[in-house]
Amino acid sequence: RRSSAAMNNSLAGAKDVSPEELEKLAAGVQVIDEQKMFTSSLPLYLSSQNLLTAGFSYHVVAVFGSQSTGKSTLLNHLFGTDFNVMDAKTARQQTTKGIWMSRAKEDESMNMGKNILVMDVEGTDGRERGEDQDFERKSALFALATSEVLIVNIWEHQVGLYQGANMGLLKTVFEVNLGLFLKDRSTTHRSLLFFVIRDHIGDTPLVNLSNTLIADLTRIWTSLAKPPGLENSEITDFFDFEFTALPHKMLQAEKFIDETKKLRGRFREGIPAENDSLQDQFPVGNKDGIFLPAYHRRIPADGFPMYAENIWNQIVTNKDLDLPSQQELLAQFRCDEIAATCTAGFNDIIAPFEEQAKAGKVMAGLGPAMKQALGTAVEGFEEAGGRYHKAVFERKRDELRKALETRLRSLVVGQFTALSKRAVAEFTEDVTNVLKLAANSASSTYDFAKIVLESREKVVSKFKEEAEECYIPGEATSWSSYDTELEGLQKDIDEIAARLRGEEMKRLVARLERDIKTKLQEPVELEFKRMDETLWDRVWKTWQDTLSDAVGKFETKSRSFNSTDEETAVGTWRLRRRGWAVLRARIDEEVLEGNLLLKLRESFEDKFRYDEHNVPRVWKPTDDIEGAYAKALNATLVLIPRVSQFTLSATSSPPDVVAYLGEAPAADNFDEEPVDSTSFEILSEAKQHDLTQRFKRMADSVFIEAKRSAIGGVAQ
Ligand code: GDP
Ligand code: MG
């Protein structure tokens, strides 16, 4: 898994590890050197042993005892380690002080536990050599704070020597342990003291030896000055004891090897005596396993190097060891490291989207990517950080989640905006295109409301579908809900639909205006053929009929657009005004000077050249040509003022066009051309005068022609 692998790398350090370095680590690592410095290679060592990802599935064992009592020899035989052993021939003393660590070689045939880290504590015999007991004390404290089992290595002949070096050492162990407990009373901090009695001859049974040791240990315990609150504590409140004996390595070499081999089998998980319910958690036959859950220090393997180092630094600087706060500090630090690793994985997926987001476009695949990135990061964190101090872990997890969600949130907001923008654009384009198609096709039978509804449904459901993808399930995820954006989108679409409808209505008005124009063309011409007193009544009626027909059509269509009453009212108002303007233009066309002159001439000639039976006159010199001329002239001249003023016969005044057209609707400005609905003068005085003159001249020439024809007719 990515998280674990990344964790390994982060702890081992980003640098490449040379083969030489790994070779050097093969035999183990000097955790603390003679200068009391803590190694920097522990993470590397644990990762080279594939132990960083072990979680709680590992064990730490330390050995204690006077120098040159065969401790390292014992460890090497027990655990297959390769700790330094004093050369028997040269008897060169091991003078270096320090703590070494090596992983046990696992022995499946002996059912030995897995992932055992063994610590060899060297140079703890300062008292024998008259040196200060500083290192002894410090290493004891370190071993107690980190190890589950302390192997106490002791020669048989030292058993019962209450004043001996070993007992002094144990006194130190008990003392520092009491110190630890002052700060750490809440946790069940127990350790196992595993006594290995060396060079056991066999005369004294093991049980006797262990009784002697227990008696001595109890005496040491009683003699200790205990801190307040722990005055009445028993040694067994803190320690369990196990005893075993080994034969002389040199004298009974084979037996020694056999016994140590057997002993290996005890280094595995055991069942706490008081808790039978745990039976089935352990393999059958583990009854004598010595690793009990109560001994485990509950430091996840990947945090062990840091924990051990912090503990050592506290010890070296003579600070009071406070294990619970050390655990919290460790948890904080490790959780931050894990969070950084998880955030890096999150970045791999999310950073490209954050870059993309700057363009403000819809990002494909964002939803699934977000889920994957957040899921992997949070799960990875829970997996790697879940073993650390619970409160710290939970706080850091919430912090991580919040930080990642904040970043996702801004992506999601951008995505919603882009989705909404796209939906609006698509809707506008859709509707406009359909309208364009409809306008260009011959039939204008399309359903605007339906077009709008279908397109709206399409873009809204597309929006929802893609916005849904960005939904992150969980507690505090209302941030990924798109309700507000959807509401906004609906509103935007409403506005656009209204605007497009408005435009469509304008087009409809224009179409109907053209209709009115066509429809008025011939009827008006026809009405002007008869310019009697009813001329304007007829023109007015023709116009009203045509207009109400158009208004009716408009209202029907407008309703089919789902327009509001207001919008329909604006449209009809517009149409009426345009209709009036069309009529005025049509009239103006009809009364163009040439047209009107022709009409007057027709009227005049009708009366002058034809008799009352509509028979053409043939003038004779005796005819009253002057009289007929004057009659026809006057009958025609009255037409000029009549045509010049739009007047209805019933009222002798112009029609109430203002009332007919109605008030402009209250809404915003309608950018309509101004229409003159109050002036009904068709021809001005000057024009009338002009027209009269021209008409008279024309009539005169007709008269003269008639005169001539009368005389000419006589001459023939
Ligand atoms: P350490 O200083 O306690 O780690 O002791 P070493 O393992 O280096 O051994 C010190 C000396 O004791 C060496 O010369 C070993 O050969 C010797 N030695 C090891 N095991 C035994 C044993 O079981 N009995 C005796 N008598 N000597 C041993
Ligand atoms: Mg040694």
Q: Is 72 in the pocket of ligand 1 (CB under 6 A)?
A: yes
Which atom of ligand 1 lies nearest, measured to the CA of 73?
Answer: 7
Cα 619 off chain centre by: 104
**100 and 152 fall within a common domain:** yes
668 vs 30, more confident: 30
- Complex ipTM above 0.95? yes
Ligand nearest to the CA of 92: 1
Domain count, the chain: 3
Q: Identify whether 570 is part of a domain.
A: no
Which atom of ligand 1 lies nearest, measured to the CA of 65?
Answer: 3
Q: Identify whether 45 is part of a domain.
A: yes
Strand order in the sheet with 149-155: 29-32, 98-103, 116-122, 59-64, 149-155, 191-198, 239-245
Q: Is 86 in the pocket of ligand 1 (CB under 6 A)?
A: yes
Tell me: pLDDT of 103 over 60. Answer: yes
What confidence score (pLDDT) does residue 13 get? 45
- The CA distance from 104 to 654, in Å, is 119
Tell me: pLDDT of 711 over 70. Answer: yes
Check: CB of residue 268 under 8 Å from CB of residue 112.
yes
Q: Identify whether 584 is part of a domain.
A: no
**If you measure from the C-alpha of residue 114 to the centroid of ligand 1, how many angstroms do you get, rounded to a whole number?**
27
What is the pLDDT averaged over residues 521-531?
91
Q: With the C-alpha atoms ordered 707, 710, 712, 714, is the resulting torsion angle positive or negative?
A: negative
What confidence score (pLDDT) does residue 283 get? 42
166 vs 397, more confident: 397
What is the pLDDT averaged over residues 54-76?
91
pLDDT-based confidence at residue 47 (cuts at 50, 70, 90): very high
Q: Is 69 in the pocket of ligand 1 (CB under 6 A)?
A: yes
- pLDDT tens digits along 391-419: 999 999 999 999 999 899 889 989 999 99
What confidence score (pLDDT) does residue 93 get? 54
What confidence score (pLDDT) does residue 392 get? 95
pLDDT-based confidence at residue 559 (cuts at 50, 70, 90): confident
- The CA distance from 567 to 574, in Å, is 11
- The CA distance from 405 to 413, in Å, is 12
What confidence score (pLDDT) does residue 286 get? 47
Question: Ligand 1 pocket check: which of 73, 136, 158 to mutate, most ligand atoms within 8 Å of Cβ?
Answer: 73
CATH number at residue 73: 3.40.50.300
pLDDT-based confidence at residue 19 (cuts at 50, 70, 90): confident
The vertex-364 CA angle with 359 and 370, nearest 5°, equals 95
Mean pLDDT, rounded, of the chain: 86
**207 and 187 fall within a common domain:** yes
Determine the residue type at 72: S
**460 and 607 fall within a common domain:** no
What confidence score (pLDDT) does residue 380 get? 95
**466 and 602 fall within a common domain:** no
- pLDDT tens digits along 632-649: 999 999 999 999 999 999
Q: Identify whether 91 is part of a domain.
A: yes
**467 and 396 fall within a common domain:** yes
Q: Identify whether 280 is part of a domain.
A: yes
Which of 147-151, 174-178, 228-232 is most confident? 147-151
**290 and 342 fall within a common domain:** no
Residue 96 DSSP one-character state: -
Place of tokens 């536990």: 113
What confidence score (pLDDT) does residue 472 get? 76
Ligand nearest to the CA of 69: 1
Of 70-84, 102-116, 257-271, 650-664, the least confident = 650-664
**If you measure from the C-alpha of residue 292 to the centroid of ligand 2, how many angstroms do you get, rounded to a whole number?**
27
- pLDDT tens digits along 109-165: 888 999 999 999 876 555 555 556 788 888 888 998 899 999 999 999 988 877 777
**If you measure from the C-alpha of residue 69 to the centroid of ligand 2, how many angstroms do you get, rounded to a whole number?**
8
What confidence score (pLDDT) does residue 68 get? 83
Residues with CB under 5 A from ligand 2 (ion): 72
Which atom of ligand 1 lies nearest, measured to the CA of 120?
Answer: 4
**705 and 639 fall within a common domain:** yes
Check: CB of residue 153 under 8 Å from CB of residue 65.
yes
Q: Identify whether 263 is part of a domain.
A: yes
Q: With the C-alpha atoms ordered 457, 458, 460, 464, is the resulting torsion angle positive or negative?
A: positive
What is the pLDDT averaged over residues 647-652?
91
Long-range contacts of 42-48 (CB under 8 A, 24+ apart): 42/101, 42/304, 42/305, 42/308, 42/309, 43/11, 43/12, 43/13, 43/305, 44/12, 44/13, 44/17, 45/101, 46/11, 46/301, 46/302, 46/304, 46/305, 47/8, 47/11, 47/12, 48/12, 48/17, 48/22
Tell me: pLDDT of 321 over 90. Answer: no
Residue at a domain's end among 321, 355, 381 = 321
Ligand nearest to the CA of 70: 1
Helices (H) and strands (E) in the chain, counts: 21, 7
**267 and 160 fall within a common domain:** yes
Question: Ligand 1 pocket check: which of 86, 156, 196 to mutate, most ligand atoms within 8 Å of Cβ?
Answer: 86
- The CA distance from 603 to 574, in Å, is 38
The vertex-98 CA angle with 176 and 59, nearest 5°, equals 65
The percentage of the chain sitting over the pLDDT mark of 90, rounded to a whole number, equals 53
Q: Identify whether 507 is part of a domain.
A: no
Phi, psi torsion values for 367, nearest 5 degrees: -55, -60
Which atom of ligand 1 lies nearest, measured to the CA of 256?
Answer: 23
Check: CB of residue 645 under 8 Å from CB of residue 639.
no
Q: Is 85 in the pocket of ligand 1 (CB under 6 A)?
A: yes
Check: CB of residue 206 under 8 Å from CB of residue 197.
yes
Ligand nearest to the CA of 64: 1
What is the pLDDT averaged over residues 702-716?
77
**343 and 399 fall within a common domain:** yes
Q: Is 97 in the pocket of ligand 1 (CB under 6 A)?
A: no
271 vs 715, more confident: 271
What is the pLDDT averaged over residues 420-440?
87
**289 and 371 fall within a common domain:** no
Residue environment code for 554-593, b if the CB has 16+ CB neighbours within 10 A, otherwise e = bbebbeebbbeeebbbbbbbbbbbbbbbbbbebbeebbee
Instruction: Name the residue with the closest Cα to ligand 1, atom 23.
Output: 249
What confidence score (pLDDT) does residue 91 get? 57
**If you measure from the C-alpha of residue 68 to the centroid of ligand 2, how many angstroms do you get, rounded to a whole number?**
6
User: What is the domain range of residue 457?
Assistant: 333-481
Of 21-25, 206-210, 283-287, 602-606, the least confident = 283-287
What confidence score (pLDDT) does residue 471 get? 79
Residue at a domain's end among 481, 513, 530 = 481
Residue at a domain's end among 321, 352, 372 = 321
**295 and 403 fall within a common domain:** no
Q: Is 425 in the pocket of ligand 1 (CB under 6 A)?
A: no
Tell me: pLDDT of 280 over 70. Answer: no
- pLDDT tens digits along 245-272: 999 999 999 999 999 999 999 999 987 7
Check: CB of residue 270 under 8 Å from CB of residue 296.
no
The percentage of the chain sitting over the pLDDT mark of 70, rounded to a whole number, equals 88
Instruction: Name the residue with the closest Cα to ligand 1, atom 17.
Output: 70
Q: With residue 334 as reference, give the H or E element that holds it.
A: helix 323-357
Tell me: pLDDT of 706 over 70. Answer: yes
What is the pLDDT averaged over residues 452-459?
92
What is the pLDDT averaged over residues 74-86?
91
Q: Identify whether 650 is part of a domain.
A: no
**609 and 469 fall within a common domain:** no
Determine the residue type at 371: K
**If you measure from the C-alpha of residue 72 to the centroid of ligand 1, how many angstroms do you get, rounded to a whole number?**
7
Which atom of ligand 1 lies nearest, measured to the CA of 84?
Answer: 8
**If you measure from the C-alpha of residue 191 to the centroid of ligand 1, how many angstroms do you get, rounded to a whole number?**
26
Q: Is 249 in the pocket of ligand 1 (CB under 6 A)?
A: yes
What confidence score (pLDDT) does residue 15 get? 52
179 vs 551, more confident: 551
